[in-house]
Structure 1
Amino acid sequence: MRSPDITVPPATAAIVLQLLSGGAPQTLPRHRHDLSREDVRETQRARIVAAAIELFADGGYSQTAVQDITKRAGVSRKTFYELYATKEEVFLEAYQAVGVLVSEAGVMDAESRGPELTPETLDEYAQRLLLVMAVAPAATKMFFLEALGAGPRVRLRRNEAIEEFVAAAVPGLREFRARYEPELPQLTIEQCRVLIAACIELITQYLADHEAATLAALAPRLVDAVRAIVIPNYRS
């Protein structure tokens, strides 16, 4: 079984980030206007998703009602149900929107992630990833802390997202080991899964007791995990 196909355009995800960062929501005109129906729907979607992310992060998924979301987003219940069948669907879309933002930031793109990845620049790379997450603290908290309690479809999407992250990370991690510890066998996919799972758990534990805005402080612990699994014998 796979989670339902949900596509969040980068432009919509960017509006969500703007709203979460304190930007003013776009006011939709009440009378005749030049906006297409799709433009209006995307703006409404972004407002609903941003409102849901904040509420899920503040009060938890189970304690957030559709009425709470519509009130925060400034839309009617009719508009909500024209776009989403359930609160769970909003969570799934919010979850994907966060993933789009991370992807658009280039943290998984070898061509745009900055300086060449070396044992010495690992900390810089980890900090960049964590700073991307810290830009929208509510989204990060929802992404890591609320997904496990949000129902089976959300947990399924969470597992798929982790596998997507693993698949994206495997080539770079293998090349990294081959360059700095060529005597070791190639990293297995399972070893990469263990590493990603360890990093996710470190982030989850940190968020339980700290503000997401301070996530960059966790970078040294993530670097230690990478070194221990990928280049365990390397000494600079």
Structure 2
Amino acid sequence: MSARVPREPRKLPPGRHGIPADEVAGDQRGRILAAVVSCVGESGYAKATVEDFIGRAGVSRKTFYQHFANREAAFLAAYDEVAERVTSAAQKAYSAQDDLVASARAALECTLRELAADPDAAVLGIVEVFAAGPKALERRSEILGRLTDLMTEQTKDLPESAPGPNFTAEVVVGAVLEVLYNRVRRGEARQLPELLPDLLYCAIAPFVGHDRAAEERTAQLHQSARS
């Protein structure tokens, strides 16, 4: 995704405005997706309706169905936008570093910051994806796979842990997401950056050992206290 789902959808001027049809369609789609994020973030997927989406987006029912076949399709499109934004930012931060510790620190910091900046998107992408059916869960599995492969690539030259780097990376990614799920579900999305020192320790300890991981946690705690 190249841009954040707009949080305050703008409305095109009424009547004949001379704006190209593809720009109008893009604006409508963006407003609907922003409405999906906010409605699902506030009420949950089970309670959010197409009527909620079109009311929040300021579009007609006809316009909604020109873009999406149903409520599930709109949710999946919004999930794809949110997941791609957060995952791509994390991958970029991770790959910009030279070693596992720096990579994990950068990716975690980026992810926590992105989610904290948009709590509704955090709810949709971390919590409500479980309520949206098998297609949504397939998309979530794809994201986990991307993150696991990324961490495995960075750990391939480290001394191999007993279960192997791929399995260990899978466990780490799954555990981090479970922690995020619990915090977001409790309404603590904006406090997620505070978890960085502890999450960093847990993410790197299986690969670099307790001593190095503890040093990094302490350094991160000191940095957080100064900022």
Classify the TM-score, shorter chain. 0.7 to 0.9
Q: CA deviation at 1:156?
A: 1.6
From the two aligned structures, give the one with the greater helix fraction: 2
1:54 aligns with 2:31: no
Aligned residues: 213
1:200 aligns with 2:165: no
Retained in 1: the 8 A contact 2:155–2:165?
A: no
Q: CA deviation at 1:65?
A: 0.9
Return the match for 1:134 from 102, 116, 121. Answer: 116
Aligned residue for 2:29?
45
- The separation in 2 between residues aligned to 1:112 and 1:152, in whole angstroms, is 31
Aligned residue for 2:130?
148
Residues 50 and 195 of structure 1, relative CA distance in 2, 3 Å threshold: same
Task: Please list, as runs of the form range in 1=range in 2, the aligned pairs for 1:202-217 lying within 5 A after superposition.
Answer: 202-217=179-194
- The separation in 2 between residues aligned to 1:66 and 1:233, in whole angstroms, is 50
- Partner secondary structure for residue 85 of structure 2: helix
Deviations 1:79-109 (A, max 9, x none): 001110111111111111112222453x212
What letter matches 1:95 in structure 2?
A: Y
Residues 160 and 124 of structure 1, relative CA distance in 2, 3 Å threshold: closer
What letter matches 2:27 in structure 1?
A: T
Sequence identity of aligned pairs in percent?
A: 30
- The separation in 1 between residues aligned to 2:117 and 2:93, in whole angstroms, is 21
Task: Please list, as runs of the form range in 1=range in 2, the aligned pairs for 1:4-83 lying within 5 A after superposition.
Answer: 9-10=1-2, 13-14=3-4, 16=5, 19-20=6-7, 23=8, 25-83=9-67
What letter matches 1:171 in structure 2?
A: E
Task: Please list, as runs of the form range in 1=range in 2, the aligned pairs for 1:103-114 lying within 5 A after superposition.
Answer: 103-105=87-89, 107-109=90-92, 113=96
- Partner secondary structure for residue 134 of structure 1: helix
1:221 aligns with 2:202: no
- The separation in 2 between residues aligned to 1:104 and 1:110, in whole angstroms, is 9
Retained in 2: the 8 A contact 1:117–1:125?
A: no
Retained in 1: the 8 A contact 2:93–2:103?
A: no
Higher relative contact order (CA 8 A, sep 6+): 1
Residues 101 and 164 of structure 1, relative CA distance in 2, 3 Å threshold: same
Residues 26 and 46 of structure 1, relative CA distance in 2, 3 Å threshold: same
Return the match for 1:160 from 120, 142, 153. Answer: 142
Task: Please list, as runs of the form range in 1=range in 2, the aligned pairs for 1:181-192 lying within 5 A after superposition.
Answer: 182=159, 187-192=164-169
Q: CA deviation at 1:199?
A: 0.6
